[in-house]
Each structure stands twice: as C-alpha cells, then as structure tokens.
C-alpha cells in the first residue's frame, strides 16, 4: 500500500480516509446488487446453521480444533498408576490446603484461590479433585483454562507424568490447531478461547457435561477470560451442580467477590519461592562499568573480616604475611601504571614509603608530599603499594580521616580498588569502625551510581529495549557463573527476540565463546513442539538461554532457571474505536508482572533477577495490568455474546456485567459496525450471516471476506490472506540498514508493482508453498520471511477450509470442487 508508515502493521489516519473514500465512491446500486447476491447465496438450503449444528456438526477434521474435539462425559477417574511423585507433591505449599479445597468445593459453588508463585496450584488443585472423586467413586469432568497455549501443553504433560499416565488419557489438552485428548479425558487443559467457543456453540450445553471449571491466571485480565467470567455468572445459575474455581497469583479478590457476590471463600496459599536477589538498572550499570578491564579470572568479593587491632598493626601484619608468602612478585593492579603507553607496572619505592608512613605514623608531611607529587602528575591518585596493594584512600579510611578521604575523592580516587587481602576503602573503614568515613563513602558511591544512571538514560531511548546491554549482561553471567544455571530473558516481542539471538550468536565481543550454550525461544506464534527444548535440561556444562515474551510469566516452570533478565516491557494491543484501527505497542509492564517475572528465578533454587529499569520507573508502574477487554476490538466477542444471551438482551447490557466493562461509546460503535456488516439486524439480533461468522475463529470482517471469496470464486488467495491477517506479518524486519533495504525490495518484488501488502503476502506464500519442503527455510532466508509464520498460516488455512466444508460453503475438498471455487483466483 502506498504511503509511509511509522510502524509496521499500523494504518495512519490518511490510510483510513482513503479507504472510506473508496467505499463511498462505490455506486449505491452496486452495493444493493452485492447485498442481494450475498443474501441469495446465504439462503441456499445446503448451508448448515452454525448454532443448530453445535458441537456435533464440527466433530472431526480441522474445524473441530477451535472447540473440544472429543466428546467426554463425567466418569469416576481411574486410580493413579504411580505414587513416585508423592514426596515432591507433599513439599508444595498447596498440599497443606488439600482438605480445605475439597471441602470448600463441596460446600460452595465458587471458590477463589490466591496462590503465590511456586505454590503448585496449577498442577495440584485438579489432582485433588480427581483423587477425591476416585476415593469417593464420584463422576467428574474438569475443564482447566489458561490464557497461553504453551502453559496448557506443559502443565498437562506434568500432571499426566505425576499420575503415571500417557498424555491424552485421563489428562489431555486442546489448543488451536492441536489437541491431545480422547473420550477418556476427564481433565482437559485448554486456552480460554477454546472453552468460550464451546460454550457459545452449544448454548452452554457443555456445562451440563462438566462438573468443575477452573479459570487460572485470572489476574492477567485477558479479554476472553473476562468474557468467560460474565458467561459463568449465568452458567452457575443454570447448572447448580457446576463448581467454578478462580485462581491467580495476584488475585484481586475484592473485585471478583463483589462481581460474583459475597460469601464465597478465598484461600490464601503462600508460594515456595527460594530467595531471589533482585537488581535494578543502576545496579546493573554498576556491575558492568568495569567489564572492559576485567577478565574471566576476576576474584569474587570477600566479606570484610572484623578486627579490633589498630590499622598500623593490621597493615604490618598484612605486609609480613605477604612477604612470607612471596607475593611481592605477583602482579599488582593495573592502576599502578603511570605511563599510559606502557603495559608494564611501575613500582615506586618512594611512594610506597609515603603510604607506609601514613599508615603506621599518620605522617602529615608524607600526605603533603603525596599530594605535591600528584599535582605534578608524577603519580596516580590510585597508586597501590607494591607489597600490600593498599592505596592512600584506604589509609584515610582505616585511620578515620574524613577530610583526607574527601580530598582524595575530589582527585578521582577509586572506591572499588581492593588491596591484596580483598579489602576496599569501604571495608577498611568498616573494619576500623569509622562511621563518619563509612557514611561519606556510601554517599559518594550512591552519587556516582546516580550520575552513571542519568548519563545512561540520556544516551538511550527508554521506550526501546537496549539489546546490547542485555548481551553484555549475558556475557557477565555466562563467564562468571555455573553453566548449568539457565538464563531466562523477557523481551517485548518476536523482533526483539530474533535480534538478540542474532547478536548473541554473531557478536564476537560478547565473550560467550567461553563455553557452549543453547538458545531457545518461547513465543505464542511458535509451534509447541519447537518450544519443548526450553523445558528440557541440556547436557552438563551447557548453558541454556531462553528468550521469551510474557508467556513465561506464569503457569510455566523451567526447572533450571537461576537468572532472569527483565526488560520491563511487553507488547500490548490497543484499539482505537473511533478510527477502527488496532495497534500493537511496546509498553511498560505492571508491578504484578514484575513480581511474576522475578519469581521465575526462584522456583527451584535461589536465583537472581535483573530489572533493566530504574526504581523510579518501577514506582510509576501501574499495580495491575489494564484489562484487555477495554483496549481491544470486541466484534468477535460481541457475536459470541449474541449467541449466548437472551435474544432481547442488548450487547451493551451484557458487557456491563463484566467486572471492568469497556467504554459505552466503544460498545455502541462496534454494534453499529456489526450492523453495517450485516451480522446483526436493526434489533441487534444475529442474521444468517452473523450466525455463520460465529464459526470462524477470527474477526468477523475476515470471516465475511471468506464467504465473499466463495461467492466470487477466488477462494485460494483470500484464504491465504485471511489466514495471514488473523495471525501475523510474515515479512521480517532486519536490524541491519543494508538488510532492511533488501527486505523492502523483496516485498516490492512480491507485490508485482501493485504497491499492495496483501498482494505481497499472497505471492510470498505461494512461493513458499511451491518450494520443496527441504528448501523452504532457504526460501524464507533469502526473502526475509518467517518460516514459522508460514507453517502456522498453512495450518490455519486447513482449519478454515475444514470450517467452510462443515458449514456447507464448500462441498468437499475434491480437486474439481476447489478448482471451480478458484476460477477467478489467477494473479497475472
């Protein structure tokens, strides 16, 4: 599309005005003819009513994978096959609440569980229900929802393993385009969207075959979870035997209690977090400031020993010990070097003598002579005694001479230099109990760190992630710590992940060549099979580095994570209801998310978390994330609402039942857009078109485009285009300026002179599809495309084609039928 955009995937106001003018210029008689054509097509007797078909009409094939694909009824669970995990399960904090949870579910229809990170609620709560049902011979069927696909897969695998069963038996999962379940499945892990679509397609009938619904990570406030809460408020009235459990780490129990009504119990469960040392940006900068001059053999800091002797006694003892150990020949610090052109260390016996006289006799003449030589540029203020490694600042600190310390600091004395017994100036002051010197040194140290932070923030854009800083921190961790300790890095989006991965793999200055390492990616758009490596322990001595978006914040446990690097940012969708434009922005996370990310470092052992933002930035963060339902398009959810609520209830009335409802004007505008689209009539009732649009797991306007494609016999290109628009842009954005130009040229070439992004998408996918499977990766590399995206798009195409067949728009997948539906699909 012509026109320059600030960010990929966003439409400017000019673009919107152009599109509106195009629509307005279409003759009215053409619009009427088109509407009649669609109405006549929808009136065909062969088409199946989506709502009438329900779940049974979608059983089998790809079409079923947006709902539960296996019919299952409550049964008595089989006795677990193994108890080998019993000891580890009993160590979880949630285990001590087992009887309380089971009893609460027998007495109450709704239960809130606020379980801190590491409490074990994800894996144990549904097992408590299964074990209790087995013991009491009760029939159960549990649906457990989580917002993220990878969590549904990983947690279900863990639970099946703890029960000693194969996945797909008693325990299974179902996510988009993938499921592992059977008629024997009694505990189904799924995403919120799967349950939502199953409720709407069966008009709540699925609730009649379910005994427990568990909604996890409620605190994340994604739109589908909020929508589910509104539905469940009606479901528990219609099905009194159903039990609902709401769980989260930072659960706003007051909000949800007022939403469902008072009187329901809230269980507080502590986490099992190991100690986590956390650092902010100022600490990270301090840690990395001398990185260029340090080597991998840097000695670790030693806690200063406490002595009651006089400084002179300690000094003489130190010198005597060093002489006895023949350490006079060891390499002193590089700050002894006077000449900047020489690499050798210059030893000055005369300066050694001055320092010794100050230490042993507090000789003021020696101090005066030292400053005279410094002012004459004859010696560095950081000169270290050739025997003991002490400096004049250390002497001032040990003797309690505040004025001398202040004077030396103004000349640039370094507080971090250490003598050969690993004492810094601060250690010497603490050892001698000179509180006034300690206070001065601490104030000066804090001042230095603040200046460093201020200088850094002036040179970087805070709204963008500093990948070079992260790579330097990765180097520091990799060089100085146990390689068996894994690192988890939180980044906003896929582009940042790919750029950091390339930086780590190609930048020779990173220092990561000090040992082998593996890099894994966790992202919602990557197939689950490709992400399993992140949960497996690598070979001994191999560092595991996991680059992830916020999907690793909750419900996901990687056992060997010890270090967490938190960029403090995440991608967030925002919808402008006035212009009808959706934007994906990188924003600062909430305090609740900060706590969740920090907790990833202490799940299985003591860890460290590095927050790459200042304490001031942390204080300014919002407490909880903004509910997704108030900042995204609600067209698809509105159609689902109309398929569930009473026919005479308005959409706005239903949305007002949500814990934190969207703005009234946003709801009114989306109702108007659905009416114009033809999905709703003037009384807000679902039209024939609207009922069919419910069958597509995407925004209604994309579903309508598919139906138009069938009518106008151009199905293949529109099927590809709709799949891409509902997923993500397949074109990658290189970081290198030269590669950016090449990537742009590739996109223009695929567009074939049309200046259309849509044409480029279709032709790029056709090129990828026409390539041999063994050559598809090379095709994507040469044309700056994402192989993972096209693999996902291919799966979505199959799902949508199956959906069209299930609805009757496409008779079958026979080549002759598909050929007839593509008579107008040729692109010249």
pLDDT for 421 beyond 70: yes
Give the total number of structural domains in the chain.
Answer: 4
User: Does a structural domain hold residue 168?
Assistant: yes
Where is the domain boundary, 424, 457, 490?
Answer: 457
User: Does a structural domain hold residue 1?
Assistant: no
Both 599 and 685 in one domain: the answer is no
For 787-824, the DSSP string reads HHHHHHHHHHHHHHHHHHHHHTSS----HHHHHHTTTT
- Report residue 548's pLDDT band, with 50, 70 and 90 as the boundaries: very high
User: Does a structural domain hold residue 590?
Assistant: yes
User: Does a structural domain hold residue 289?
Assistant: no
Tens digits of residue pLDDT in 785-800: 988 889 889 988 998 9
Interatomic CA distance for residues 720 and 704, integer angstroms = 14
Mean pLDDT throughout 539-561?
A: 86
CATH code where residue 429 lies: 1.25.40.20
Residue appearing with tokens 């220092």: 511
Interatomic CA distance for residues 432 and 311, integer angstroms = 7
CATH code where residue 716 lies: 1.20.120.1080
* Token pair in block for residue 597: 């990310």
Tens digits of residue pLDDT in 112-167: 888 877 788 889 999 999 999 999 999 999 999 988 888 888 899 999 999 999 99
Nearest to 247 by CA among 24, 97, 364, 396: 97
Both 660 and 618 in one domain: the answer is no
Which pLDDT score, from 0 to 100, does residue 311 have? 58
Mean pLDDT throughout 704-717?
A: 91
Strands 178-180 and 171-175, bridge-based pairing:
antiparallel
- Report residue 5's pLDDT band, with 50, 70 and 90 as the boundaries: very low
Both 433 and 567 in one domain: the answer is no
Percent of the chain with pLDDT over 90: 20
Mean pLDDT throughout 159-187?
A: 89
CATH code where residue 487 lies: 3.40.50.300
| Interacting residues of 198 by C-beta distance below 8 A, sequence separation 6+ | 55, 67, 68, 206
Higher pLDDT, 15 or 766: 766
Q: Residue 589 region, left (φ>0) first, then alpha (ψ -120 to 50), else beta?
A: beta
Mean pLDDT throughout 542-552?
A: 90
Tens digits of residue pLDDT in 555-587: 677 888 999 999 999 988 777 666 666 777 888
Residue pair 312/360 in contact by the 8 Å Cβ criterion: yes
Both 695 and 743 in one domain: the answer is yes
Both 672 and 783 in one domain: the answer is yes
Both 625 and 639 in one domain: the answer is no
Both 249 and 346 in one domain: the answer is no
Rounded (5°) CA angle 701-729-710: 35
Where is the domain boundary, 629, 662, 682?
Answer: 629
The number of residues making up the chain comes to 828
User: Does a structural domain hold residue 275?
Assistant: no
Tens digits of residue pLDDT in 427-485: 888 888 888 888 888 777 766 667 777 778 878 888 889 999 999 999 889 888 888 89
Tens digits of residue pLDDT in 316-354: 666 566 555 443 334 333 333 333 333 345 788 888 888
Q: Phi and psi of 729, rounded to 5°? A: -65, 125
User: Does a structural domain hold residue 68?
Assistant: yes
Percent of the chain with pLDDT over 70: 80
User: Does a structural domain hold residue 600?
Assistant: yes
- Report residue 620's pLDDT band, with 50, 70 and 90 as the boundaries: confident
pLDDT for 498 beyond 70: yes
Both 147 and 105 in one domain: the answer is yes
Nearest to 233 by CA among 656, 697, 643: 656
pLDDT for 550 beyond 50: yes
Both 625 and 561 in one domain: the answer is yes
- Report residue 401's pLDDT band, with 50, 70 and 90 as the boundaries: confident
Interatomic CA distance for residues 549 and 103, integer angstroms = 38
* Mean pLDDT value across the chain: 79
- Report residue 294's pLDDT band, with 50, 70 and 90 as the boundaries: very low
Interatomic CA distance for residues 547 and 533, integer angstroms = 12
User: Does a structural domain hold residue 6?
Assistant: no
Interatomic CA distance for residues 669 and 671, integer angstroms = 5
| Interacting residues of 662 by C-beta distance below 8 A, sequence separation 6+ | 629, 630, 634, 655
Mean pLDDT throughout 401-421?
A: 83
Tens digits of residue pLDDT in 655-694: 888 887 888 888 888 888 889 888 998 888 888 888 888 8
Q: Phi and psi of 180, rounded to 5°? A: -140, 85
Interatomic CA distance for residues 540 and 485, integer angstroms = 10
| Interacting residues of 448 by C-beta distance below 8 A, sequence separation 6+ | 415
pTM: 0.61
SS3 label, residue 317:
helix
Q: Which residue range is the domain that position 772 belongs to?
A: 27-55+634-820
Residue pair 492/549 in contact by the 8 Å Cβ criterion: yes
Both 383 and 432 in one domain: the answer is yes
Both 38 and 99 in one domain: the answer is no
Where is the domain boundary, 408, 435, 457?
Answer: 457
Both 573 and 603 in one domain: the answer is yes
């Amino acid at each position: 599309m012509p026109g320059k955009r600030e960010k990929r995937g966003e439409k400017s106001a000019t673009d919107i005005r152009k599109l509106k003018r195009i629509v307005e210029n279409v003759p009215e008689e053409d619009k009427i003819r088109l509407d009649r054509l669609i109405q006549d097509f929808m009136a065909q007797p062969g088409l199946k009513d989506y709502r009438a078909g329900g779940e049974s009409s979608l059983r089998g094939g790809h079409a079923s994978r947006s709902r539960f694909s296996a019919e299952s009824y409550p049964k008595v669970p089989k006795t677990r096959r193994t108890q080998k995990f019993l000891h580890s399960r009993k160590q979880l904090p949630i285990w001590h609440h087992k009887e309380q949870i089971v009893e609460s579910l027998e007495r109450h229809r709704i239960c809130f569980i606020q379980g801190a990170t590491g409490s074990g609620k994800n894996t144990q709560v549904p097992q408590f229900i299964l074990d209790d049902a087995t013991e009491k011979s009760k029939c159960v069927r549990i649906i457990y929802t989580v917002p993220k696909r990878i969590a549904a897969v990983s947690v279900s695998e863990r639970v099946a393993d703890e029960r000693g069963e194969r996945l797909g038996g008693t325990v299974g999962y179902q996510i988009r385009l993938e499921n592992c379940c059977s008629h024997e499945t009694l505990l189904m892990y799924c995403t919120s969207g799967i349950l939502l679509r199953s409720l709407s397609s069966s008009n709540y009938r699925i609730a009649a075959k379910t005994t427990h619904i568990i909604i996890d990570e409620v605190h994340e406030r994604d739109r589908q979870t909020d929508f589910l809460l509104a539905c469940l408020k009606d479901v528990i009235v219609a099905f009194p035997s159903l039990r609902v459990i709401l769980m989260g780490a930072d659960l706003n129990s007051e909000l949800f209690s007022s939403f469902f009504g008072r009187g329901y119990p809230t269980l507080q469960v502590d986490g099992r977090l190991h100690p986590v040392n956390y650092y902010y940006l100022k600490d990270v900068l301090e840690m990395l400031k001398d990185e260029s001059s340090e080597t991998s053999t840097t000695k670790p800091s030693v806690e200063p020993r406490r002595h009651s002797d006089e400084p002179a006694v300690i000094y003489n003892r130190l010198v005597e010990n060093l002489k006895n150990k023949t350490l006079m020949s060891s390499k002193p610090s590089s700050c002894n070097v006077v000449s900047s052109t020489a690499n050798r260390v210059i030893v000055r016996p005369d300066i050694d003598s001055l320092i010794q006289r100050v230490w042993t006799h507090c000789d003021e003449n020696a101090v005066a002579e030292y400053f005279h030589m410094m002012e004459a540029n004859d010696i560095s203020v950081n000169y270290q005694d050739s025997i003991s490694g002490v400096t004049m600042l250390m002497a001032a600190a040990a003797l309690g001479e505040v004025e001398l310390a202040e004077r030396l600091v103004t000349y640039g004395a370094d507080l971090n230099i250490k003598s050969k017994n690993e004492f810094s100036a601060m250690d010497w002051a603490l050892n001698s109990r000179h509180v006034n010197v300690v206070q001065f040194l601490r104030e000066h140290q804090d001042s230095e760190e603040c200046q460093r932070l201020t200088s850094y923030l002036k040179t970087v854009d805070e709204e963008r992630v500093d990948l070079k800083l992260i790579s330097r921190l990765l180097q520091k961790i990799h060089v100085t710590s146990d390689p068996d300790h894994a690192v988890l890095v939180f980044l906003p989006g896929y582009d940042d992940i790919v750029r950091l991965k390339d930086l780590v793999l190609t930048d020779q200055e990173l220092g990561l060549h000090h040992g082998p390492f593996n890099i894994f990616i966790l992202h919602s758009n990557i197939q689950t099979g490709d992400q399993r490596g992140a949960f497996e322990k690598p070979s001994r001595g191999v560092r595991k580095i996991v680059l992830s978006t916020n999907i690793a914040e909750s419900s996901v446990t990687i056992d060997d994570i010890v270090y967490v690097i938190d960029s403090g940012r995440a991608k967030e969708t925002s919808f402008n209801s006035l212009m009808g434009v959706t934007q994906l922005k990188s924003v600062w996370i909430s305090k609740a998310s900060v706590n969740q990310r920090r907790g990833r470092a202490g799940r299985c052992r003591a860890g460290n978390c590095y927050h790459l933002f200042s304490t001031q930035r942390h204080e300014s963060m919002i407490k909880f994330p903004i509910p997704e339902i108030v900042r995204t398009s609600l067209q698809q959810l509105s159609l689902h609402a109309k398929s569930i609520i009473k026919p005479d209830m308005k959409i706005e009335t239903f949305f007002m039942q949500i814990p934190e409802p969207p703005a009234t004007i946003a709801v009114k505008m989306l109702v108007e857009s659905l009416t114009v689209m033809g999905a709703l009539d003037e009384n807000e009732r679902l039209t024939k078109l609207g009922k069919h649009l419910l069958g597509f797991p995407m925004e209604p306007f994309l579903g309508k485009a598919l139906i138009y494609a069938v009518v106008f016999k151009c199905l293949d290109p529109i099927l590809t285009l709709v799949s891409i628009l509902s997923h993500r842009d397949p074109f990658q954005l290189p970081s290198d300026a030269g590669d950016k130009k090449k990537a742009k040229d590739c996109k223009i070439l695929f567009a074939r002179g049309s200046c259309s992004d849509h044409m480029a998408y279709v032709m790029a996918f056709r090129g990828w599809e026409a390539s041999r499977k063994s050559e598809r990766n090379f095709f994507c590399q040469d044309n700056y495309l994402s192989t993972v995206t096209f693999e996902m798009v291919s799966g979505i195409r199959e799902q949508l084609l199956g959906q069209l067949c299930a609805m009757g728009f496409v008779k079958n997948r026979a080549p002759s039928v598909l050929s007839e539906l593509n008579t107008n699909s040729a692109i010249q």
